[in-house]
């Protein structure tokens, strides 16, 4: 019925009524907390572009994951900074590599916490690209698959609960699934970075993880920001190859694709609230342009409302405290 019989403001009149009819819930249990673990340091190293986020020694990472778990955050996502790099990125599949050591330490201290391991070669290669580089500077998709599969097995052997390939090579989910199954890790799920765009919002991450490419860019394998149908196809292909959870990355510029991927696949869906999204809110709050708590919670709610079941965010600890 039209106004005046219909008054939508009736359901906004009090906090209790607003809570009763709220369509989208935000909870610490929705979050995955990304962390940067560095080999060979014994301290926290602040990341200038990401206030409140540090590079961590393994011991500090164990303590940080304990803090996250106490706040009700169920999972962490680990990125590694190795002691050295080479052309192939061999540190990625080293059983004594930084991610493998950190995973074992975290699982020993906090066995109920889920450890998700990012699987990519860019942090480990001397050239900073996500795969094997040919003499002409292009990335060899098929040669990279073997190295990704080897890394996945090493991470699973170390105790990773979830493997999260972020490289954007064609066929990598199928190759990783086959390798995990062959090594009796059939129960280890894959969280695929399915629609990962070549985004301007990754800048602070590349400082944090020391992973900027030494030449060229990643546009030959990461997605064109203009392409929505292709993002849906990427997600569908990952599902067909055996992914258990899909992802859209970044989150805020791609809320429409979070919705489309969720509606098309009906699969569990993560969205990555990336470093640039985090940094711009931090900078605006520091300048007094907005209220950080309100802006962060509104942002994370919008990602959930768009259709994400899981939100990977550097705001996780602060948001979990505010939601309490």
pLDDT in tens, 255-280: 999 999 999 999 999 999 999 999 99
Write down the pLDDT at residue 4.
93
Confirm whether 249 is a catalytic residue: yes
pLDDT digits (tens, 9 = 90+) for 41-87: 999 999 999 999 999 999 999 999 999 999 999 999 999 999 899 99
Q: Is there a domain that residue 94 lies in?
A: yes
d(CA 116, CA 264): 25
- Examine residue 1 and state whether it is found in any structural domain, yes or no: no
Give residue 177's domain range.
Answer: 26-323
Determine whether 155 is exposed, middle or buried from the number of CB atoms within 10 Å of its CB (0-12, 13-18, 19+): buried
Helix axes 255-265, 292-306, angle to 10 degrees: 30
* 89 assigned to some structural domain: yes
Number of domains making up the chain: 1
Residue 16 lies in a domain: no
- Catalytic, out of 196, 262, 282, 317: 196
Phi/psi at 316 (5° precision)? -55, -50
SS3 labels along the chain: CCCCCCCHHHHHCCHHHHHHCCCCCCCHHHEEEEEEEECCCCCEEECCCCCCCEEECHHHHHHHHHHHHHCCCCEEEEEEECCCCECCCHHHHCCCCHHHHHHHHHHHHCCCCEEEEEECCCCCECCCCCCEECCCCCEEHHHHHHHHHHHHHHHHHHCCCEEEECCCCCCHHHHHHHHHHHCCCCCCCEEEEEEEECCHHHHHHHHHHCCCCCCCCCCCCCECCCCCHHHHHHHHHHHHHCCCEEEEECCHHHHHHHHHHHHHHCCCEEEEECHHHHHHHHHHHHCCCCCHHHHHHHHHHHHHHHCCCEEEECCHHHHHHHHC
Mean pLDDT computed over every residue of the chain: 96
Pairing of strands 269-273, 310-313: parallel
Catalytic residue status for 107: no
Q: Is the pLDDT of residue 206 over 90?
A: no
CA atoms within a 13 Å half-sphere pointing along the CA-CB vector of 78:
38
With bands split at pLDDT 50, 70 and 90, how would you rate the model's confidence at 1? Answer: confident
pLDDT at residue 210 above 90?
no
Q: Is residue 17 part of a domain?
A: no
Q: Is 254 a member of any domain?
A: yes
Catalytic-role residue among 85, 107, 249, 262? 249
Beta strand pairing call for 132-133 and 139-140: antiparallel
196, 249 Cβ separation under 8 angstroms: yes
* Model confidence, pTM: 0.96
Residue 3 in domain: no
Model confidence at 209, pLDDT cuts 50, 70, 90, reads confident
Q: Quick one: what percent of the chain has pLDDT higher than 70?
A: 100
CATH code: domain of residue 298: 3.20.20.70
- Phi and psi, residue 12, nearest 5°: -120, 5
Q: What is the mean pLDDT of residues 272-292?
A: 98
Whether 92 contacts 146, CB under 8 Å: no
Domain assignment of residue 130, yes or no: yes
CA dihedral sign of residues 290, 259, 73, 29: positive
Question: β-strand 44-46 against 54-56: which pairing, if any?
Answer: antiparallel
Tokens representing 101 are 């050591």
């Amino acid at each position: 019925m039209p106004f005046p019989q219909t008054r939508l403001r009736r359901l906004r009149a009090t906090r209790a009524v607003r809570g009763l009819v709220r369509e989208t819930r935000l909870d610490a249990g929705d979050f995955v907390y990304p962390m940067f673990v560095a080999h060979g340091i014994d301290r926290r190293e602040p990341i200038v572009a990401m206030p409140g986020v540090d590079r961590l020694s393994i011991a500090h990472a164990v303590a940080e994951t304990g803090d996250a778990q106490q706040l009700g955050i169920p999972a962490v996502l680990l990125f590694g900074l190795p002691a050295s790099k080479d052309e192939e990125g061999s540190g990625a599949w080293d059983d004594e590599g930084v991610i493998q050591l950190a995973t074992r330490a975290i699982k020993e201290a906090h066995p109920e916490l889920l450890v998700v391991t990012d699987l990519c070669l860019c942090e480990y290669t001397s050239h900073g690209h996500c795969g094997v580089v040919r003499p002409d500077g292009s990335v060899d998709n098929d040669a990279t698959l073997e190295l990704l599969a080897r890394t996945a097995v090493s991470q699973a052997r170390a105790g990773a609960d979830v493997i999260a390939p972020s490289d954007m090579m064609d066929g990598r989910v199928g190759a990783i699934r086959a390798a995990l199954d062959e090594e009796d890790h059939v129960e280890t799920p894959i969280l695929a970075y399915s629609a990962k765009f070549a985004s301007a919002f990754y800048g602070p991450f590349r400082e944090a993880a020391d992973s900027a490419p030494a030449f060229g860019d990643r546009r030959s394998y990461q997605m064109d920001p203009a392409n929505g149908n292709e993002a849906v196809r990427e997600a569908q292909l990952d599902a067909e190859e055996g992914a258990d959870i899909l992802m859209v990355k970044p989150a805020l510029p791609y809320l429409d694709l979070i919705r489309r991927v969720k509606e098309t696949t009906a699969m569990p869906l993560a969205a990555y609230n990336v470093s640039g999204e985090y940094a711009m809110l931090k900078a605006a709050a520091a300048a007094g342009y907005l209220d950080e708590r309100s802006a962060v919670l509104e942002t994370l709610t919008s990602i959930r409302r768009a259709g994400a079941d899981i939100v990977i965010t550097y705001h996780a600890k602060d948001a979990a405290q505010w939601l309490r």
